[in-house]
Amino acid sequence: MTGLVALLALLFLGLALNFLFNPLTAGAQFGVVPDGIVGLNTLRGDLGGLFLACSVMLLVGMVRAERLWYLAVAGIMAAIALGRLLGFVMDGFAGNNLPAFVAEIVFIAILATAYRQC
C-alpha cells in the first residue's frame, strides 16, 4: 500500500508541476480553458496548488508515518468526486468525464485502505 501511496504522491506532483508550468496544456487536458491572465493564474494557483498540496500531504504522511494525512487527501478527493456528482445531476453526463470520477473513487479507496493497513 505504501507503494501505491507513493505513486499517488508522484502523480499529484506531476499534475501540480504541469499546472504550475504549463497551465494551457494542463487545463486543456482537464477540459478547462483559461480566460486571459486571470484564468491562467487560477489554473496555476487553484489546480496547481491543489495537486501540490495533495502530493505534499501524502509525502509527509509517508515520511512521518502519520496516516491521518492519507485521510486528508482522501477527503479532498471525496469533495471533488461529490462536485462531479453534482455536475452530473445539474449539467448532464458526458462519457468522457467518467474516467476522472472513477479515478477519484479509486484514489479514495487506496488512501482509505492505506490508512487502515499501514
Kindly list the domain boundaries of the chain, sorted by start residue. Answer: 2-117
> Which residues fall within 8 angstroms of residue 5, CB to CB, at 6 or more apart?
58, 61, 62, 70, 110, 111, 114, 118
Q: Give the cell for residue 48.
A: 496547481
Burial class (CB in 10 A: 0-12, 13-18, 19+), 82: exposed
Q: pLDDT (tens digit, 9 = 90+) per residue, 57-84?
A: 999 999 999 999 999 999 999 999 999 9
- Do residues 60 and 66 make contact, with C-beta atoms less than 8 angstroms apart? yes
pLDDT of residue 93: 84
6 vs 26: CA distance, rounded Å: 22
Q: What is the pLDDT of residue 94?
A: 82
Judge whether 107 and 77 are in contact, CB under 8 Å: yes
Q: What are the residues whose beta carbons fall under 8 Å from the beta carbon of 4, sequence distance 6 or more?
A: 110, 114
pLDDT of amino acid 95 = 76
Residue 115 pLDDT > 80? yes
Cell of 34: 483559461
Task: Give 32-48 pLDDT, tens digit per residue.
Answer: 999 999 999 999 999 99
